[in-house]
Amino acid sequence: MDTVWVFGDQLNRAIGALAEARPGEVRVLLVELTDALATRRYHRQRLHLVISAMRRFAAELEEEGFDVDLRRAPTLLQGLAEHRREHRPGAVRATEPLSWGLERQLQRAGVDLVRSNQFLCHRSDFAEWAAGRRRLVMEDFYREQRLRLGYLLDGDRPVGGRWNFDEENREPPPKDGRDWPQPSLEPLDALDLEVLDGLPPTAFGADPVGWWPTTRAAALARLDHVVHDVLPGFGPHEDAMLTSGAARNGANAWRLNHSMLSSSLNLGLLLPGEVCDAVEDAYRQGEVPLASAEGLLRQVIGWREYVWGIYWLWMPEYRDLNELGATRPLPPAFTGDAPTAMACVAEALGGIEERGWVHHIQRLMVLANLAMLSGVSPQAMSTWMASSFVDGSEWVMVPNLIGMAMHADGGRMATKPYAGGGAYINRMSDHCRDCRYDPKQRVGDDACPFSTLYWDFLARHRERFAGNHRMQRTFANLDRLGDRGRIPARAAEVLALLDEGRL
């Protein structure tokens, strides 16, 4: 009997090698890692999510009649070797994995790879799209995907006459104290508690409370909640940040109207076409504003698929790029070794500790922005984020960190660095009102570290970015600063405090 090997991010009967499999014809192998999880500091909810979802999926396959070999092993290949010794399969098939390194291991181990349908644009199709282009612009890719897949179109034109409503989806946080949508939580059962009891002592963070679906049924229920309760208000405040727990912000302010579907998509519990179909249907039925529907579609078939294609196109060299020469270690606040008085950073790190998740602007404009401005190693940052988030994976974090967030690829992916100072955070959040640092100050003990480091970053890298037309106004503003001569000394103080965990 042949074996179909299913990995922990392919937990769906409709994916690849498992799609045509039938009970009695193949055996299914799943391998839980042991040693690898103990040698890296993962968030408890990240580990719990993957292991629980794997065990539940294995049980579902057994109920369907499959002979399932769910085993634990120090490495994936050791698990395969033990499976081969015990069951002597005629062949081992697997769906193309989501990891560049794992694919090379599978090829060397003689595993037959089946084309993946886990993304709407296969990586070979993305490579064909990219061939011969001087720049791989996400917006170009997104529009072609809309045309190819037929989402939100009137004929061959976009509904509403525009491809992109991003300009309408950048409003600052509301001030009405509304309560934000909350999905039902999945109560933890005996399986969850067993998984938690078995996690390595290196794991960090709070235990789960049921935010993250671990079955396809739960993921589909979450999608239904998102479409009917979350998506109608999704668009306008996509980029806003609110302080959780503040009475003025209402319940679930940490979440706003974000979908929180990424963990289910990244494990295969949901497929991107299902999400996009549901969004399209809701818009056509008049339940969702166009700007909100387009905004979520752009995240799924635009950015997510684009990042996936970039990962496969430019690996493995891409993950090691460091064009800005950033070598600083992670700040102690990021590793849990020190608190921080920066309200926006404290809010983001608190969200990671409690849920293993914060939304994309907190990742990009708070955490990654601080890392880039202070010169943290992009490789250290990428590894930390992949380990800290419930939706973290190498294919997600490498392009997002190396390319977009930290400009470590020198501009291959983004035309300019996504750098921002205290003014941006003050405009898009309510964090600054309760912070001990002043976003309007660049020097002095009360100056916002983001404001100080932002202008220092620009000054240090001026020669590199001087020819970028998108940054000409920024450099003109730098030249007009009356205190610019004092910024380098204050920046040095800020970096020292950051390294010492006293910022």
DSSP code per residue over 15-67: SHHHHT--BTTEEEEEEEESHHHHSS--BHHHHHHHHHHHHHHHHHHHHHT-E
Give the model confidence (pLDDT) of 342-373 as tens digits.
Answer: 999 999 999 999 999 999 999 999 999 999 99
Give the model confidence (pLDDT) of 452-461 as tens digits.
Answer: 999 999 999 9
The residues, ordered by sequence, that sit 6+ positions from 462 with a Cβ below 8 Å of its Cβ are 475, 478
90 pLDDT band (50/70/90 cuts)?
A: very high
pLDDT for 190: 98
Give the model confidence (pLDDT) of 285-336 as tens digits.
Answer: 999 999 999 999 999 999 999 999 999 999 999 999 999 999 999 999 999 9
Q: How far is residue 497's CA from residue 492's CA, in Å, rounded to a whole number?
A: 9
- The answer to whether residue 168 scores a pLDDT higher than 80 is no
- The answer to whether residue 36 scores a pLDDT higher than 80 is no
Mean pLDDT of the region 395-411? 96
Q: Is 184 exposed, middle or buried (0-12, 13-18, 19+ CB in 10 A)?
A: exposed
Q: Please answer whether residues 295 and 302 qualify as being in contact, where contact means their C-beta atoms are separated by less than 8 angstroms.
A: no
pLDDT for 172: 87
Q: What is the CATH number of domain 332-500?
A: 1.10.579.10
pLDDT for 246: 87
CATH class (in words) of the domain with range 2-114: alpha beta
pLDDT for 248: 87
Q: For the domain with range 123-190+214-314, which CATH number is right: 1.20.810.10, 1.10.12.10, 3.30.300.30, 1.25.40.80?
A: 1.25.40.80
> Alpha helix (H) ranges present in 336-471?
343-355, 360-361, 369-374, 378-388, 394-398, 422-428, 449-460, 462-465
- The answer to whether residue 144 scores a pLDDT higher than 90 is yes
| Local structure of residue 330 (DSSP, 8 states) | P
Report the number of secondary-structure helices (H) and strands (E) in the chain. 24, 7
Q: Please answer whether residues 398 and 378 qualify as being in contact, where contact means their C-beta atoms are separated by less than 8 angstroms.
A: no
pLDDT for 184: 84
Q: How far is residue 159's CA from residue 418's CA, in Å, rounded to a whole number?
A: 30
- The answer to whether residue 449 scores a pLDDT higher than 90 is yes
For residue 485, count other CB atoms closer than 10 A to its CB: 9
Q: Is the pTM of this model over 0.85?
A: yes
Distances (CA, A) of 103 to 5, 95, 309, 337: 13, 10, 15, 36
Q: Could you report how far apart the first and last alpha carbons of the chain are, in Å?
A: 60
Average pLDDT of the residues of the chain: 95
The residues, ordered by sequence, that sit 6+ positions from 46 with a Cβ below 8 Å of its Cβ are 356, 387, 388, 389, 390, 392
State the pairing for strand pair 157-158/153-154. antiparallel
The domain spans of the chain are 2-114, 123-190+214-314, 332-500
Give whichever of 30-44, 241-255, 326-340 has the largest mean pLDDT: 326-340
The residues, ordered by sequence, that sit 6+ positions from 200 with a Cβ below 8 Å of its Cβ are 37, 38, 47
Q: How far is residue 138's CA from residue 136's CA, in Å, rounded to a whole number?
A: 6
